[in-house]
Amino acid sequence: MALCLLFGLFLGLQTSASSSSGLRSSREDITTAFRPRQPPHIIFILTDDQGFNDIGYHSRDVRSPTLDKLASEGVRLENYYVQPLCTPSRSQLITGRYQIHTGLQHSIIRPRQPNCLPLDAVTLPQRLQEAGYSTHMVGKWHLGFYRKDCLPTRRGFHTYFGSLTGSVDYYTYGSCDGKSLCGFDLHEGESVAWGRGGKYSTHLYTQRVRKILATHDSSSQPLFIFLSLQAVHTPLNPPKEYIYPFRRMGNVPRRKYAAMVSIVDEAVRNITYALRKYGFYRNSVVIFSTDNGAQPLTGGSNWPLRGCKGTYWEGGIRGVGFVHSPLIRHRRRVSRALIHITDWYPTLVGLAGGNVSQYQGLDGFDVWPTISEGKEGHGLWDTTVQAAIRVGDWKLLTGDPGHGDWVPPQILTNFPSSWWNLERQTGEKRKSVWLFNVTGDPCERHDLAVHRPDVVKELLARLVLYNRTAIPVRYPPDDTRANPSLNGGAWRPWVGEGEEEENWDGIYYKRGKNRKRKCRLCKLQSFFKKFNLKIMSKKI
């Protein structure tokens, strides 16, 4: 149990100009920072599995002219951190708290699990409702739905339209947990939206956002829209007309992936057009963010960063992000300040006129002065535990951070997965501590743990401090009552109101999950070791 307490922990700590330790340890008085006179309309756009190299201003093969323009006219966030998986990132955005403080530090919430965002957590949309906002969510939830109190409409959103599970078909909205347990997953409020499928989800969700903007009076009430896109998560099946412009791209998964990014770009263009058309734009803040790094085997790219989705290398946790708003005082710049996904909660509540200092338990910080005015942010461990922490220039990893590949675009993605796994063994199997200066070495190629033991010691002490605040993991076993065949063929809440909760604390492992498997292609292992070391690490 102890080894799993910090599964999923990544702390994006910010530096303090006045602190010799560089640790973000106290909340600063930000009352002197410039604030909008009226609460702004807030549009938060979250993409799924979009990697660091999957946007035009980082990549040559991806086309995203709208996103590039909005980022260049706003503030591009180049030291922006998220979590390596879906549920942890979304929970931190919605609660402003690290997942070690909500019990969601152990992987994602699967459809059959009786688990959801803790019901005692006051969410971001609930705080915005208190500030007078009309709040709407469109798209992927993935924060649990086993009982109705877990649904978006019970967690602060006036309206909801989207899918509750982690992955659905882009057209039919079918969602499967395993190979055989499948059901329909498109919801309008708290009801299943039967008959609404057939349209590609990015188009369907964009249409809903534009409808909200068209029917809301921009002068009467501030608006918060959380657009949580399914794209660019698998399956890779965009409409064919969007694939055609990338027909000369040799790698088929990358070709389809690039097409999906272009559809996201088109969606953002249509939404920003609607903001202008219906009178929202001049008093609006648009935030664009990914939830975690990309998966190179399915067309994504985090190049030149190391690692991928599900890992604690930079490729898994350094996110694509920017803020676009006429309310930003110093626009058209790139910010290298450390910003973490938990920071959006206090930042947006602060913009809405709320008093963040009154809220206990928040781990995020109000970073609007950093974004708007460029002000600097303030701010004996078991090394077998999987964790990562960044303070200033330094990033420390412990335990097994995950596969640490550097994956150039269109390289090796068509190889059988069993071959791909062989080249991962790079001689670091027994290591449990890494230290990188990710400002000077963002690709994490030069481990400095041996050379800077003082920094290692300081960051390990910080991990101990945070671990003392962790609560027990909530990762229950699957509940057979979740089966869509028992619920009208759809994924929907299955625990009745007033029904007693079972004990959620602890971790459940499936039988045989941790059993060792014999390598069937051991003769090729030596080849892939040399290939990784000579080609991936040095030649490219």
Residues classed as catalytic? 86, 142
DSSP summary character for residue 147 = B
User: Could you give the CA distance from residue 43 to residue 354 in angstroms, rounded to a whole number?
Assistant: 18
The interaxial angle of helices 86-95 and 344-351, nearest 10 deg, is: 30
Which residues are CB-neighbours of 128 under 8 A, at least 6 positions away?
42, 135, 156, 224, 348, 349, 352
Contact 363, 343 (CB under 8 A): no
Contact 208, 138 (CB under 8 A): yes
DSSP per residue, 111-128:
TTSS--S-TTSPPHHHHH
User: Could you give the CA distance from residue 108 to residue 88 in angstroms, rounded to a whole number?
Assistant: 7
User: Could you give the CA distance from residue 226 to residue 238 in angstroms, rounded to a whole number?
Assistant: 23
User: Could you give the CA distance from residue 365 to residue 392 in angstroms, rounded to a whole number?
Assistant: 15
Q: Supply 291's token pair.
A: 């939830």
Q: Which of 513, 476, 496, 487 is nearest to 113 (CA)?
A: 476
Q: Supply 242's token pair.
A: 């969007």
- Sheet hosting strand 191-192, strand order edge to edge: 191-192, 187-188, 159-163, 134-140, 223-228, 41-47, 284-290, 321-324, 75-77, 333-335
Contact 508, 475 (CB under 8 A): yes
